């Protein structure tokens, strides 16, 4: 595969131009491009510029509204409700995060619901921002289009429903945890199906809920959650905290993030930020506790902190540039030139 | 095994009497007895009256302070900090939950940290109370004495770190999720070791972090988290949200809940309650969304909601009484008569 190296700023600018040319208002295009380029910087290509062609197609089809402006209400002292209004997710999330940071000092805990939203990309970025910029312990949940079936069924009802967490660490980047609740990403099953290869047991079931190693049967079936019934319960918890609590579409109602078919996905996200010191008597002790816990982990040979590989990639990619498939960049340049499809 | 049937009220009164006679102040004994008897009602014997002898021994040894009174501070508008003061967990949690309910209307979200605490028992009971009595979506986290090793190590550093969630459901008991993050409870490995039986692969590692089916090697090693590295990351997330954020002991610092050796365990709990309608524009829609999501699940043949088995047991045990081992009841009666050990 032919590749090209792009500095972060150039990647961000190219994505923004492609999204603007596809109908996104300027600020929404910039916020989206920034989140996607940051994901690429961290080596999370599945949530990076590779998403721009699909976003652009959905903007052109009106499945994502390019001129949507997030609408904020404040139903209670410590909460924020953001209506993404069928636009891209990132402007709505940025609005919610900024509100959370501004309320955190006084409230001590803030909850932000984002509804009628779209693909939130690498969820860890937002909790990392809350940890770094607002000094918060932050948790994020999002639902996503159906891929996982409830135990006892082969019918996918809920998404892989990612969970992200971050907390500040003295003298270094925040500790970030970012994971989906499926055993593997659907993309890995798709690749096996394309190659005609089997998949390991434990990844997926067929459409009757029976275990399968046939990748094509798995694509027609459901992905398995981590931890069996326990993971399935966590998937449901995230679905209720997002789809129900933010009054958005459930996984079984949400349209795909990948094509321009159907109406807007209208999924929901929930962000929780807690200020250290607000649930215990002493602020400084919290920082010391984080240092003691992570220090004890690192005293074990072979143990590392979650996210450390990502931070190493970030440093390297920032210095050397991000490697992109030439074909993807050509596609984005065509979009940016305004001569894309539609 | 000889058993005896006890009505809920009698079980609660017996546990309270045993705890009072062991040195717990009256209200603390009653709150603890109530939580333990409620766990038995739900069929969760591992968090029921079976714990009283160990609690009593710790009260007598001063490892748990019987006269501790939870101390509340309000560091921010929407948060509550409770110092359990090395007493039993339940009085501190009851205090925090009551504060959360009183603040929820105005704040929309409330965080309660409980520090210097002890075994919280069946965590699902508290989120269920918040859902039923305060109409909240509630999440609870607690850490616990070390049992799980970080990936790459065979040294247990963190507990099985339970997570509980509840939300109101129209016309019935709240939906409750309550799970620990280990594949199985340590008790199941202990039973296998006592019987000299092997355990399945995937439950535990030996003390070098290698997979083992030898139950005795597993007890000297570590329990495995659900979902491999993803579950281990969730264990760490819970540890940071509890031990770090509430400034309490980490799993590797906490003494056992089961014997009177060492100082107080001093672990931490975190409770989050969110008022439906506080993170979206419309309160009623949230209830309708919960009904739609759970209704869609139940439309699948063979699918049931988490906690339904527990609710069925609760109804039966409330009507018919709770079955206890005769030996346990004899032990509690001896304690209650004030002629226990110590």
Q: What is the pLDDT of residues A130-150, one digit of tens each?
A: 999 999 999 999 999 999 999
The predicted model gives B79-101 an average pLDDT of 98
Residue B263 has pLDDT above 80, yes or no: yes
Q: Answer yes or no: do A176 and A275 share one domain.
A: yes
The CATH number linked to A118 is: 3.30.1370.60
Q: Hey, how many other C-beta atoms are within 10 angstroms of the C-beta on A135?
A: 21
- The answer for residues whose C-beta is within 8 angstroms of residue A242's C-beta and 6 or more apart is A141, A142, A143, A161, A248, A267, A268, A269, A270
Q: Answer yes or no: do A151 and A262 share one domain.
A: yes
Domain count, chain A: 2
Q: Is residue B199 part of a domain?
A: no
The answer for A 86-125 residues in CB contact with B (under 8 A) is: 105-113, 115
Q: Answer yes or no: do A75 and A155 share one domain.
A: yes
Residue A118 has pLDDT above 70, yes or no: yes
Q: Answer yes or no: do A152 and A86 share one domain.
A: yes
Tell me what pLDDT residue B266 has: 98
Q: Answer yes or no: do B29 and B138 share one domain.
A: no
Dmax (CA) of chain A: 60
Tell me what pLDDT residue A342 has: 43
Residue A340 has pLDDT above 50, yes or no: no
The answer for A 1-40 residues in CB contact with B (under 8 A) is: none
* Confidence grade of residue B323 (pLDDT, cut at 50, 70, 90): very high
For testing contact with chain A, the best of B109, B274, B301 (most A CBs within 10 A)? B109
Q: Which of B113, B270, B286 is opposite residue A247, by nearest beta carbon?
A: B286
The predicted model gives A222-246 an average pLDDT of 98
- The answer for residues whose C-beta is within 8 angstroms of residue A327's C-beta and 6 or more apart is A1, A2
Q: Is residue B295 part of a domain?
A: no
Q: Is residue A217 part of a domain?
A: no
**Nearest-CA distance A195 → chain B (Å):** 26
Residue B71 has pLDDT above 70, yes or no: yes
Q: What is the pLDDT of residues B106-149, one digit of tens each?
A: 999 999 999 999 999 999 999 999 999 999 999 999 999 999 99
Q: Answer yes or no: do B46 and B136 share one domain.
A: no
A-chain CB neighbours of B298 within 8 Å are none
The CATH number linked to A16 is: 1.10.1530.10
B300 touching A, CB under 8 A?
yes
Positive or negative torsion for Cα B181, B183, B187, B190:
negative
A-chain CB neighbours of B246 within 8 Å are 279-280
Q: Answer yes or no: do B175 and B101 share one domain.
A: yes
Q: Is residue B287 part of a domain?
A: no
C-alpha distances (whole Å) from A259 to each of A57, A253, A262, A282 are 7, 15, 9, 50
Q: Answer yes or no: do B311 and B174 share one domain.
A: no
Structural domain boundaries enclosing B51: 1-61+307-342
The answer for A 132-191 residues in CB contact with B (under 8 A) is: 137, 139, 149-153, 155, 157, 163, 165, 167, 175, 177, 179, 181, 183
Q: What percent of chain B has pLDDT over 90?
A: 96
Q: What percent of chain B has pLDDT over 70?
A: 99
The answer for B 190-209 residues in CB contact with A (under 8 A) is: none
Residue A341 has pLDDT above 70, yes or no: no
For testing contact with chain B, the best of A73, A75, A78 (most B CBs within 10 A)? A78
Residue A300 has pLDDT above 90, yes or no: yes
* Confidence grade of residue B339 (pLDDT, cut at 50, 70, 90): low
The predicted model gives A57-69 an average pLDDT of 98
Q: Is residue B97 part of a domain?
A: yes
**What is the spatial distance between Cα B242 and Cα B115, in angstroms, rounded to a whole number?**
8
Q: Which of A151, A237, A278 is opposite residue B177, by nearest beta carbon?
A: A237
Q: Answer yes or no: do A247 and A173 share one domain.
A: yes
**What is the spatial distance between Cα B254 and Cα B245, in angstroms, rounded to a whole number?**
16
Q: Which of A279, A285, A304 is opposite residue B270, by nearest beta carbon?
A: A279
Question: Which residue of chain B has the CA closest to A155?
Answer: B300
Q: Answer yes or no: do A164 and A266 share one domain.
A: yes
Residue B340 has pLDDT above 50, yes or no: no
The predicted model gives B202-231 an average pLDDT of 95
The predicted model gives B183-209 an average pLDDT of 93
B-chain CB neighbours of A280 within 8 Å are 75, 81, 113, 115, 245-248
Tell me what pLDDT residue A99 has: 98
B247 to A289: CB separation less than 8 angstroms, yes or no: yes
Q: Is residue A176 part of a domain?
A: yes
**Nearest-CA distance A94 → chain B (Å):** 16
For testing contact with chain A, the best of B78, B92, B100, B303 (most A CBs within 10 A)? B78
Q: What is the pLDDT of residues A80-107, one digit of tens each?
A: 999 999 999 999 999 999 999 999 999 9
**Nearest-CA distance A148 → chain B (Å):** 12
Least confident of A293-297, B12-16, B335-339: B335-339
Tell me what pLDDT residue B86 has: 98
Tell me what pLDDT residue A338 has: 87
Q: Which of B137, B177, B274 is opposite residue A233, by nearest beta carbon?
A: B177
Tell me what pLDDT residue B244 has: 98
B177 to A234: CB separation less than 8 angstroms, yes or no: yes
B231 touching A, CB under 8 A?
yes
- Here the ipTM equals 0.97
**CB pairs < 8 Å spanning A and B:** 266
Q: Answer yes or no: do A54 and A101 share one domain.
A: no
**What is the spatial distance between Cα B218 and Cα B203, in angstroms, rounded to a whole number?**
8
**Do residues A202 and A222 make contact, with C-beta atoms less than 8 angstroms apart?**
no
A-chain CB neighbours of B276 within 8 Å are 245
Residue B43, phi-psi category: left (phi > 0), alpha (psi -120 to 50), beta (remainder) = left
Q: Which of A111, A282, A285 is opposite residue B274, by nearest beta carbon?
A: A111
The answer for A 253-272 residues in CB contact with B (under 8 A) is: 268, 270, 272
The predicted model gives A189-210 an average pLDDT of 94
Least confident of A279-288, A292-301, B94-103, B326-335: A279-288
A-chain CB neighbours of B231 within 8 Å are 226-227
Residue B213 has pLDDT above 80, yes or no: yes
Q: Is residue A191 part of a domain?
A: no
Mean pLDDT of chain A: 96
3-state secondary structure (DSSP) of residue B242: helix
A274 touching B, CB under 8 A?
yes
Residue A323 has pLDDT above 70, yes or no: yes
Q: Which of B149, B244, B292 is opposite residue A286, by nearest beta carbon?
A: B244
A282 touching B, CB under 8 A?
yes
B78 to A306: CB separation less than 8 angstroms, yes or no: no
For residue A294 the two structure tokens come to 């992570």
B300 to A245: CB separation less than 8 angstroms, yes or no: no
For testing contact with chain A, the best of B104, B280, B294, B308 (most A CBs within 10 A)? B280
Residue A339 has pLDDT above 70, yes or no: no
Question: Which residue of chain B has the CA closest to A276?
Answer: B245
Question: Which residue of chain A has the CA closest to B225?
Answer: A227
Q: What is the pLDDT of residues B271-299, one digit of tens each?
A: 999 999 999 978 889 999 999 999 999 99
Q: Answer yes or no: do A141 and A251 share one domain.
A: yes
Residue B103 has pLDDT above 90, yes or no: yes
Mean pLDDT of chain B: 96
DSSP-derived pairing of the beta strands B109-117 and B79-83:
parallel
Tell me what pLDDT residue A282 has: 80
Q: Is residue A198 part of a domain?
A: no
**E strand residue ranges, chain A:** 3-6, 71-73, 79-83, 109-117, 137-142, 163-169, 172-179, 204-205, 222-223, 267-274, 322-325
Of B332, B342, B341, B337, whose CA–CA distance to B33 is shortest? B332
């Amino acid at each position: 595969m032919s590749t090209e190296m792009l500095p972060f700023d150039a990647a961000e600018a190219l994505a923004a131009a492609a999204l603007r040319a596809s109908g996104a208002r300027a600020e929404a295009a910039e916020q989206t491009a920034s989140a996607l380029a940051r994901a690429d910087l961290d080596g999370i290509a599945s949530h990076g510029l590779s998403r721009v062609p699909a976003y652009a197609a959905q903007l052109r089809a009106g499945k994502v509204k390019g001129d949507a402006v997030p609408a904020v209400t404040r139903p209670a002292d410590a909460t924020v409700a953001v209506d993404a209004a069928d636009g891209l997710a990132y402007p709505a999330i940025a609005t919610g995060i900024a509100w959370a940071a501004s309320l955190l000092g006084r409230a001590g805990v803030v909850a932000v619901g984002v509804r009628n939203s779209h693909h939130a990309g690498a969820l860890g970025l937002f909790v990392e921002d809350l940890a770094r910029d607002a000094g918060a312990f932050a948790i994020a949940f999002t639902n996503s289009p159906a891929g996982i079936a409830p135990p006892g069924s082969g019918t996918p009802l809920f998404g892989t429903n990612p969970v992200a967490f971050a907390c500040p660490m003295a003298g270094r980047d925040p500790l970030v945890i970012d994971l989906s609740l499926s055993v593997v990403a659907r993309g890995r099953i798709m690749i096996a199906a394309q190659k005609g290869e089997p998949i390991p047991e434990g990844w997926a079931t067929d459409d009757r809920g029976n275990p399968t190693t046939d990748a094509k049967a798995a694509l027609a079936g459901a992905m398995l959650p981590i931890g069996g019934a326990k993971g399935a319960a966590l998937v449901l918890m995230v679905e209720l905290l997002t789809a129900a609590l933010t009054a958005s579409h459930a996984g079984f109602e949400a349209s795909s993030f990948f094509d321009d078919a159907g109406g807007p996905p209208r999924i929901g996200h929930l962000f929780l930020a807690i200020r250290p010191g607000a649930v215990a008597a002493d602020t400084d002790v919290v920082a010391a506790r984080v240092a003691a816990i992570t220090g004890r982990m690192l005293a074990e040979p072979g143990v590392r902190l979650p996210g450390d590989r990502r931070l190493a990639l970030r440093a390297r990619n920032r210095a050397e540039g991000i490697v992109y498939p030439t074909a993807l960049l050509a596609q984005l340049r065509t979009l940016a030139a305004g001569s894309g499809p539609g």
